[in-house]
Chains A and B, each alone.
Chain A
Amino acid sequence: MWEYTEKVMDHFMHPRNYGDMEGADAVGEVGSLACGDALKLFLKIDPETDRILEARFQTFGCGSAIATSSALTEMIKGKTVDEALKVTNKDIADYLGGLPAEKMHCSVMGRDAFEVAVAHYRGEPAPREMLEGELVCECFGVTNEQIRKEVLTNNLRTVEEVTHYTKAGGGCGMCHPKIEQIIAEVWGERGRKEEKAAPPKRMTNIQKIARIQDVLDKEIRPMLQQDGGDLELIDVEGDRVVVALRGTCSSCPSAGVTMKQFIEAKLKELVLPDLVVEEVGA
């Protein structure tokens, strides 16, 4: 059984603002019977101020789908359209005191329905990622653009997380490699940007020593000091980094190999990939 918060159960058992709306200024429809959940959102909007006067919903779906629909209408009522567009799916989930991870797609459905309604109101086509892009998940009709958007906005890192937020990959599973690729692409782009800020490969010996000392001081020594140990940089000769362990570290039997590997890995990562660490006695 799902662990729903009291707030989710309250909005499910006593949904606010449900039902049809005649003469709505905007209607947003997402989902389908086949998918297992669908939401139709109706809005009455003041044309002068762009303020949402009334919001109503009709939802086919599970407890959390109904609760998020109800919460959405409460959250956007009284806001201007632009203000309401700032409401994220996470805001909806937070408003309800959280949703089970597997149910996050319900909050995404709420936000999507609102975006579709706003597009309808403004006479624009539906949001780009719903129209364009290549179909990735055939079971639930999710495109690469939709997946890309949720991966970025919700910081998703695994296929499972993508399924929780978009339902993509929750059916036959054939599209899992494609989803993995999208995740890699999104975060790969990020990674490449960070790489550019990385230190230049060529350094003077002085620069190299300064950076090594910096990494040791900031990344490694604080950890050793927590256990009453310490470390001192003795020398740097070319790519050879000579260090000495101090305090409890110098007599710790587990120090030797693991410590050397750990320091070496850190220095390779943060200073230069060719560095080798050597330990000398205290």
Chain B
Amino acid sequence: MRIVYMDNNATTMVAPEVFEAMRPFFTERYGNPSSMHSFGGAVARDVTRAREHLANLFGASSQEVLILSGGTEADSTAILSALATQPERREIVTTRVEHPAVLNLCKRLARDKGYKVRWLSVDKEGLLDMDEVRDMISDQTAMVSIMWANNETGVIFPVTEIAEIAHERGALMHTDAVQAVGKLPMSLKSTEIDFLSLSGHKLHGPKGIGALYVKRGTRFYPFIVGGHQEANRRGGTENVTGIVGLGEAARLSAEALSIEMERVKRLRDRLQEGLLDRIPRARINGNVEHRLPNTLNIGFEFVEGEAILLRMDDKGICASSGSACTSGSLEPSHVLRAMGVPFTSVHGSIRFSLSRYTTEEQVDYVLQELPGIIEFLRTLSPFGKEYLSAVCKVQ
């Protein structure tokens, strides 16, 4: 069966070039980069090169790149380091729509360690109120942690501006940029951001590898303690295959950035307009202007997301839903609820996330299959007949 993969905010295909770059490090080049012999030592040069590709992708120097196991470890490392180096400050400022890697860590720090977490709300388009941001950050704030772009809606936050506010109050600034790196141009050198998290598997690299940018001069307290690796900031023998893969993925992403910005955006817009044209009672979740070029979160009223996903799966289409039933919990997406998306459509919200491997033909396939799926589920649904029959009568 054909697979139309539109779930790239969940994970991405490993680029063929990435896999080829990694292959020798599984087989003949298995040395330890810390070794004193050249068999291992030569591998260290590949690790260095990978670090340079990463630094280049977001406009930093390679000494500022700390390689670790992924986005979640990067988030924990950054936040816990900021708290450890500023023991006199007991507050964290973050948003209600963060990824669980930040959200649940902050909840735990509040519950178990007595930190005060100030939660920023979002409006119905998923945007922050900058006056609230200014009010919440104080001289008690140790860390401001705000995602660069939201994984569910793609909404982009003004993190460089917020970093300046944080520094005015003497607080550190972290951004979870797992969804933004490789999709938006970045030059961290010219910002005041202190920490930035990224993940390899979101940019066509392998799973289990990621990085934390730590701005030069930022005080740092390690999360994983061990050997001298990563300049004593993260113990553990380097995941060489992962690092080489991440480096190659970063190199390709930097090259493809303009494709991502233009062609992927055009395809996403084609999908969006096509679905809105063909399916009544559908609405976009999230501000359309400040949004990642690859993400479309769209709610179909009166139907439920898991049912949509299962029927799309039957056609080989892969996407995600903010519905309660898909999350394993019974609550619908915390992001959509924080935005006040009404219940009529929150359970029927679907996220499509494209990549540079998405084709126009795939978009058209979704446009061909999805309207029938929604229509069928609406005939099953006890709701919405009064709204939808009005549409049907036109024919």
Residues of A bordering B, CB below 8 Å: 2, 9, 12-13, 15, 18-19, 29, 33-34, 36-40, 58-63, 65-66, 102, 139-140, 163, 167, 170-171
B194 contacts chain A at the CB level, 8 A cutoff: no
In the complex with contacts A36-B304, A36-B347, A38-B382, A62-B325 CB distance below 8 A: yes
Contact with A along B308-326 (1 / 0, CB 8 A): 0011001000000001111
Residue pair A102, B328 in contact (C-beta under 8 Å): yes
In the complex with contacts A33-B347, A36-B332, A66-B380, A60-B311 CB distance below 8 A: no
Q: Which residue of the partner chain, among B307, B328, B331, contacts A61 with CB atoms under 8 Å?
A: B307
Among A29, A38, A61, A139: residue with most chain B CB under 10 A: A61
Residue pair B381, A60 in contact (C-beta under 8 Å): yes
Q: Which residue of the partner chain, among A59, A62, A102, A163, contacts B381 with CB atoms under 8 Å?
A: A59
Residue pair B324, A36 in contact (C-beta under 8 Å): yes
Residues of B bordering A, CB below 8 Å: 302-307, 310-311, 314, 323-326, 328-332, 343-344, 347, 379-383
Looking across the interface, which residue of chain B has its beta carbon closest to that of A63?
B310
Bound together, the chains give a CA A167 to CA B331 distance in angstroms of 10
Q: Given the complex, which residues of B lie within 8 Å of A40, measured CB to CB? A: 382
Q: Given the complex, which residues of A lie within 8 Å of B326, measured CB to CB? A: 62
Residue pair B304, A18 in contact (C-beta under 8 Å): no
Q: Given the complex, which residues of B lie within 8 Å of A167, measured CB to CB? A: 330
In the complex with contacts A36-B323, A60-B304, A170-B331, A19-B382 CB distance below 8 A: no
Q: Given the complex, which residues of A lie within 8 Å of B305, measured CB to CB? A: 62
Residue pair B325, A15 in contact (C-beta under 8 Å): no
Q: Given the complex, which residues of B lie within 8 Å of A33, measured CB to CB? A: 302, 343-344, 347, 383
Residue pair B379, A19 in contact (C-beta under 8 Å): yes
CB distance from A172 to the nearest CB of B (A): 8
Q: Which residue of the partner chain, among A29, A34, A58, A102, contacts B380 with CB atoms under 8 Å?
A: A58
CB distance from B254 to the nearest CB of A (A): 34
In the complex with contacts A60-B302, A62-B323, A38-B307 CB distance below 8 A: no
Looking across the interface, which residue of chain A has its beta carbon closest to that of B306?
A62
In the complex with contacts A140-B330, A167-B330, A12-B307 CB distance below 8 A: yes
Residue pair B330, A34 in contact (C-beta under 8 Å): no
Q: Given the complex, which residues of A lie within 8 Å of B307, measured CB to CB? A: 12, 61-63, 65-66
Bound together, the chains give a CA A132 to CA B394 distance in angstroms of 45
Residue pair A34, B343 in contact (C-beta under 8 Å): yes
Q: Given the complex, which residues of B lie within 8 Å of A163, measured CB to CB? A: 330
Q: Which residue of the partner chain, among A9, A12, A60, contacts B382 with CB atoms under 8 Å?
A: A60
Q: Given the complex, which residues of B lie within 8 Å of A60, measured CB to CB? A: 302-304, 380-383
Looking across the interface, which residue of chain A has its beta carbon closest to that of B345?
A33
CB distance from B331 to the nearest CB of A (A): 6
A-B pairs with beta carbons under 8 Å apart, 13 shown: A9-B310, A19-B380, A36-B323, A38-B382, A38-B383, A39-B382, A60-B380, A60-B381, A63-B325, A66-B307, A66-B380, A171-B330, A171-B331
Q: Given the complex, which residues of B lie within 8 Å of A39, measured CB to CB? A: 382
Residue pair B306, A18 in contact (C-beta under 8 Å): no
Residue pair A63, B380 in contact (C-beta under 8 Å): no
Looking across the interface, which residue of chain A has its beta carbon closest to that of B385?
A20
CB distance from B389 to the nearest CB of A (A): 11
CB distance from B338 to the nearest CB of A (A): 14
Q: Given the complex, which residues of B lie within 8 Å of A63, measured CB to CB? A: 306-307, 310, 325
In the complex with contacts A33-B343, A36-B325, A58-B382 CB distance below 8 A: yes
Residue pair B382, A59 in contact (C-beta under 8 Å): yes
Looking across the interface, which residue of chain A has its beta carbon closest to that of B305?
A62
Bound together, the chains give a CA A102 to CA B306 distance in angstroms of 14
Q: Given the complex, which residues of B lie within 8 Å of A13, measured CB to CB? A: 311, 314
Known contacts A37-B325, A60-B302, A139-B331; 19 additional CB pairs below 8 A are: A12-B307, A15-B380, A33-B302, A36-B325, A37-B304, A38-B383, A40-B382, A58-B380, A58-B381, A59-B381, A60-B303, A60-B304, A60-B381, A62-B304, A62-B326, A139-B330, A163-B330, A170-B331, A171-B331
